[in-house]
Amino acid sequence: MSALSPTAQRVQQTLLDLGSSAQIHEHPEACRTSAEAAAVLGCTVAQIAKSVIFKGAESGQSILVIASGANRVDTKKVAVIAGELPSKANPDFVREHTGFVIGGVSPIAHLKPGKVIFDQDLLQHEFVFPAGGTPQAMFRIAPDELLKISSAALADVRQTDAT
């Protein structure tokens, strides 16, 4: 296996520092969407643990939602959990706060950690697959371990047709 890119290596080192044995793998193809990642990994879209970054409207702090790739995030639910309205984060904000580009945002190893919320729907899977710091890097991890190492608040964040 070839050496990891510097950004993926930073995430790998954080995994090790947090006591995880999860291993990042970089793929030849970019996986910027949950559907692309699922196709490359041979898993379901629901098993992709996507990192959705919002900007806290009052605090200016990042709000990370680790969500199932099959779910749309309900910003009203996020507002209640985060204690402030989440606003759209532009690519510069995402890179400044996480150190990653959109499409490769890892749920850990952020430069400026903010609030973290974990989609409870991820817990129904044996393994989930988050990004590892680049659009080509991903890792396999048990969802309860990801919840623990991300220090996230467990919540229902899935948007339903009624919301």
Q: What is the percent of the chain where pLDDT is above 70?
A: 98
pTM confidence score: 0.95
CA angle 144, 49, 159 (to 5 degrees): 100
Q: Which CATH superfamily is domain 6-155 in?
A: YbaK/aminoacyl-tRNA synthetase-associated domain (3.90.960.10)
Confidence of residue 30 (pLDDT cuts 50, 70, 90): confident
Q: What is the mean pLDDT of residues 57-79?
A: 98
CB–CB of 99/105 below 8 Å? no
Q: What are phi and psi of 82, to 5 degrees?
A: -80, -20
Estimate to the nearest angstrom the gap between the alpha carbon of 61 and the chain centroid: 16
15, pLDDT greater than 50? yes
CB–CB of 144/22 below 8 Å? no
Q: Within a 10 A sphere around the Cβ of 90, how many other Cβ atoms?
A: 12
Distance from C-alpha of 22 to C-alpha of 138, rounded to nearest angstrom: 10
Beta bridge partners of 54: 63, 88
Confidence of residue 124 (pLDDT cuts 50, 70, 90): very high
